[in-house]
């Protein structure tokens, strides 16, 4: 505790939340200290939790509205408003977390203990109890977010991420792709100093809460010891790795054929700018270069959307109808009047797609929709968040109003999206007939280029941050550590020499945005587990990749029951509610992509699969 006045404010906050029954508001600051209870009771713990929920609910709506305005009107003033709101929210969160610590070791009922643990681990970046550091952390996080949104360098050179991404996905000229890749990474070096300071402050705050570092705090949220969670991630990755290695081997060989040995080697990591995506996290845009030969045309969903003259709103309506077909109630009218669907021309906005629950009746998405297949799928994903939010908001107290773990939240919309296949598209009139089985390999390749290619990326982003937080990746080796992990897990390398004057992790939104990334890895495992089980409930007897649960109320009933649990029980129990097992299991992925794996292994005969990571 660095300042007496701060300590007094923290005591007052805890008094307001019912944590300290003997608090007295005397002019003498030492009287506040003397008022601390020496032997907290179970009754005090229950009162603390009850009043903490009241405190958190009090400002929930205005915090959401303030963040919404800033995301839709990125200006100096809105950044300042969010920074101030973030500072106050963090201060309250830290006070609640510190107050919750005093009930450690006390024998309590299940709900009280679980809610206290949630209070302690509820902050993504906990500030220390020092007011100045709290304010600095709020300023840094707001600036990092705004820097990414604006896309400008310190020299006022500005780049449009959407336009650069279009070059990456549409151009067939490797030099133009390289230029686009490099230009977006000119924005992030200015983040590096702030990011380093942010890590120092957040670690101090995490340690004050009793965690080794901020990475340990993040991993503590998964209903198991932090180190065990890391091991669980690695275990599941090992299940997927043989399929990924086969895919990488084939993609590398085809790109070598296209560009030659001077650009793509036959045995090493693939240059990151050639995979059709700004971060090489999904490879669907190079499908034409690597696709299996087939006389059966695959469904071009982008072309069908254009042929049907779908508007952005109609794309969202279609996604909502999928959830309604499962038994979900329609979204409120305010969703349609308050969401952002189209990028405005008159102002800077954060176009990164996101779903919002402002209060128990106000749900929105923010997205600069493009009329293509990728965004059609993304809309289903974002609405999955909204329907999940409403399910637990209507059933659970405030501290349980979140998904079983953050991977569940990401998985729900993607589970629905696995049903966006020809059977579904025919059902909604998007296509006239379902292609025969000869089109399965091209379809599975498209899916693998997005889903399987992503898995190691989903793993390594937080591995990098965990290493940064615990010091294994030092501040003077941020970039080196990043590319070592990219090569180790993805078999992808930087197309240019990089140095520590660069900050390539900052070119990915979730790093400056401080969004934990393990959720996306978990989601890519869970969605296939969920899909396999929901398809069983639906009576599907065909290949897993041809199953669509659209219109099946029994599958919807099973799904809704899990969503309504929120985080009231450990995620393992929620998983068991849906699948009958409490273990993460990537075998559903192997089932889904089994025909493709057989084909890839045949294609890869005679090729040197795998890649060597250069010694550092």
Q: How far apart are CA 531 and CA 525, in angstroms?
A: 10
Verify whether residue 531 is a known catalytic residue. Answer: no
Task: Compute and round to an integer the Cα radius of gyration of the chain.
Answer: 25
Mark 34-62 as b/e (b = at least 16 C-beta within 10 Å): ebeeeebeeebbbbbbebbbebbeeebee
CA distances from 31 to 24, 26, 34, 37, 240 (A): 7, 6, 5, 12, 59
Catalytic residue among 250, 273, 380, 381: 381
Catalytic residue among 87, 208, 410, 533: 410
Compute the CA torsion angle 458, 461, 462, 465 (nearest 10 deg): 180
CA distances from 253 to 76, 250, 290, 593, 609 (A): 48, 5, 9, 20, 9
Verify whether residue 273 is a known catalytic residue. Answer: no
Cβ pair 10, 129 in contact under 8 A:
yes
Q: How far apart are CA 318 and CA 424, in angstroms?
A: 11
Verify whether residue 5 is a known catalytic residue. Answer: no
Catalytic residue among 510, 524, 531, 545: 510
Q: Is 352 exposed, middle or buried (0-12, 13-18, 19+ CB in 10 A)?
A: middle
**603: Cβ–Cβ under 8 A, 6 or more apart, which residues?**
250, 253
Verify whether residue 533 is a known catalytic residue. Answer: no
Q: How far apart are CA 489 and CA 508, in angstroms?
A: 17
Residue written as token pair 């308050």: 338
Verify whether residue 250 is a known catalytic residue. Answer: no
Catalytic residue among 312, 352, 509, 554: 352
Catalytic residue among 42, 353, 475, 594: 353
Catalytic residue among 443, 489, 520, 592: 520
Mark 164-179 as b/e (b = at least 16 C-beta within 10 Å): bbebbbebeebeebbe
Cβ pair 269, 493 in contact under 8 A:
yes
Catalytic residue among 44, 53, 87, 382: 382
Verify whether residue 524 is a known catalytic residue. Answer: no
Q: How far apart are CA 196 and CA 211, in angstroms?
A: 19
Catalytic residue among 385, 409, 531, 545: 385
Q: Which residues are catalytic?
A: 352-353, 381-382, 385, 410, 510, 520
């Amino acid at each position: 505790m660095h300042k007496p006045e701060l300590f007094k404010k923290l005591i007052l906050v805890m008094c307001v939340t019912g944590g300290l029954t003997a608090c007295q508001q005397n002019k003498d600051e030492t009287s506040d200290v003397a008022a601390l209870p020496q032997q907290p009771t179970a009754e005090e713990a229950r009162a603390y939790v009850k009043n903490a929920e009241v405190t958190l609910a009090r400002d929930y709506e205005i915090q959401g509205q303030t963040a919404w305005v800033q995301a839709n009107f990125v200006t100096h003033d809105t950044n300042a408003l969010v920074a101030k709101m973030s500072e106050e929210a963090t201060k309250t969160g830290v006070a609640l977390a510190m107050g919750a610590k005093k009930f450690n070791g006390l024998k309590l009922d299940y709900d009280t203990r679980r809610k206290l643990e949630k209070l302690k681990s509820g902050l993504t970046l906990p500030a220390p109890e020092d007011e100045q550091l709290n304010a600095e952390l709020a300023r840094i996080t707001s600036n990092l977010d705004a820097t990414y949104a604006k896309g400008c360098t310190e020299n006022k050179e500005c780049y449009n991420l959407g336009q650069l991404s279009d070059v990456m996905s549409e151009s067939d000229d490797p030099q133009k792709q390289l230029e686009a890749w490099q230009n977006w990474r000119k924005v992030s070096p200015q983040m590096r100093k702030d990011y380093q300071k942010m890590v120092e402050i957040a670690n101090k705050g995490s340690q004050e809460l009793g965690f080794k570092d901020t990475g340990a705090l993040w991993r503590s949220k998964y209903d198991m010891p932090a180190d065990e969670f890391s091991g669980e991630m690695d275990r599941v990755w090992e299940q997927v790795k043989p399929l990924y290695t086969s895919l990488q081997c084939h993609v590398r060989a085809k790109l070598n054929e296209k560009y030659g040995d001077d650009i793509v080697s036959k045995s090493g990591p693939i240059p990151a700018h050639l995979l059709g995506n700004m971060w090489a996290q999904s490879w669907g845009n190079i499908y034409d270069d690597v696709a299996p030969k087939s006389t059966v045309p695959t469904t071009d969903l982008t072309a069908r959307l254009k042929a049907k003259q779908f508007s952005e709103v109609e794309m969202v309506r279609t996604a909502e109808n999928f959830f309604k077909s499962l038994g979900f109630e329609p979204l409120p009218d305010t969703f349609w009047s308050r969401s952002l669907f189209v990028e405005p021309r008159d102002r800077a906005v954060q176009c990164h797609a996101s779903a919002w629950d402002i209060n128990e009746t106000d749900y929105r998405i923010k997205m600069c929709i493009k009329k293509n297949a990728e965004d059609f799928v993304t809309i289903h994903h974002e609405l999955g968040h909204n329907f999940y939010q409403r399910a637990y908001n209507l059933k659970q107290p405030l501290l349980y109003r979140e998904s079983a773990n953050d991977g569940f939240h990401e998985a729900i919309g993607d589970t629905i999206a696995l049903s966006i296949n020809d059977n579904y598209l025919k059902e909604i009139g998007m296509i006239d007939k379902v292609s025969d089985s000869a089109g399965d390999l091209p379809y599975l390749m498209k899916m693998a280029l997005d889903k399987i290619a992503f898995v190691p990326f989903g793993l390594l982003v937080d591995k990098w941050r965990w290493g940064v937080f615990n010091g294994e990746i030092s501040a003077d080796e941020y970039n080196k550590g990043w590319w070592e992990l990219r090569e180790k897990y993805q078999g992808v390398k930087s197309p240019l020499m990089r140095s520590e004057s660069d900050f390539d992790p900052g070119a990915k939104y979730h790093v400056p945005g401080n969004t934990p990334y393990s959720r996306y890895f978990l989601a890519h495992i869970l969605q296939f587990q969920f899909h396999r089980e929901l398809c069983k409930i639906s009576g599907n007897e065909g290949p897993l990749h041809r199953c669509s649960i659209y219109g099946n109320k029994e599958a919807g009933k099973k799904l809704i029951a899990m969503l309504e649990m929120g985080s009231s029980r450990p995620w393992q129990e929620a998983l068991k509610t849906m699948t009958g097992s409490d273990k993460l299991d990537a075998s559903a992925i192997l089932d889904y992509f089994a025909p493709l794996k057989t084909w890839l292994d045949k294609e890869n005969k005679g090729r040197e699969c795998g890649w060597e990571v250069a010694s550092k």
